[in-house]
Chain A
Amino acid sequence: MDIKIKLLISLFAIFTNFAWGYAIVCQKNIKHIPSIKISYFLGIEFLLISSVAQNLGLAAPVTTQ
């Protein structure tokens, strides 16, 4: 793969890291839910989003570059 595309992908990864950082800061606004419930809800969302993606055919095996 071209080095410029890899650089763009790396920059996109840094952007997603920024989004992750915002999510962690956002957690401070959640006052009455213990961490175990937060993780449980994360699991449910993981299941829902991945199930939809699986049905859309996005979950095909991937080859490594």
Chain B
Amino acid sequence: MSDKDNKNIIVLRRCLEVVTSKIGTENLAISLMVTANLMWPLGFLYVTEHHFSPFQSSLARGLSICLTHILICRVFGIDLDFRSWHDIKYLFIRNSLIIFHQIVYAGLHFILPFPLVNSIIITGPLFVFVIDYYINNITITKSQAVGILIGFTGVLININGEYIMSIIDPSFHF
């Protein structure tokens, strides 16, 4: 049975239509993104506090991803096979780079302060704009450029917060 005929996916689409008609697609996406971004560092904070190594937390993460996704695919009738070698090649490159990044991110919590790690990590989307511009020739609009500049300035201020405080208040020591 294809995912288009699946009863659960029809119900999910109806639910989404009801929610998006009330709060709007963009608001729903933003609220889900904000919730996910709040939960994500909390998960890493938990494993760091309990001294799990980055590989242990990755093992638990991989296991939970596989189990939840198998369940979701089963409920919504989505098959899990891959048909194109072209796609698999890029999928492998993408996922390998993301795993490398995530293991380093998990390990950073044991070395650098928590706010600093997360300040560095949120610079990632800024790189996406730049790489997309050079690889796919996707132009950066004026408002996006302003957003990148503000974001980068915010990260710089956040990372050097204690240094800035010491300039403002000479009695402050870091």
Contacts and interface: CB of A to CB of B under 8 A. Distances in A.
A binds B: yes
Interface of A: 1, 6, 9-10, 12-14, 16-34, 36-51, 53-54, 58-65
Interface of B: 48, 51-56, 58-59, 61-66, 69-70, 72-73, 78, 80, 82-84, 86-87, 90-105, 107-112, 116-117, 120-121, 123-128, 130-132, 135-136, 159
A5 B146 CA distance: 32
A27 B59 contact: no
B111 A44 contact: no
Q: Classify the secondary structure of B's interface with A.
A: helix
Q: Classify the secondary structure of A's interface with B.
A: helix
Nearest to A22: B131
Given A34-B78, A40-B73, A46-B99, A62 B120 contact: no
Given A22-B97, A37-B80, A42-B95, A50 B124 contact: no
Given A23-B95, A46-B102, 8 more contacts: A20-B101, A25-B132, A36-B69, A37-B78, A38-B91, A40-B65, A40-B80, A54-B59
Nearest to A11: B120
Given A32-B84, A49-B99, A23 B127 contact: no
Contact of B51 (A28, A50, A62): A62
B148 to A, nearest CB: 12
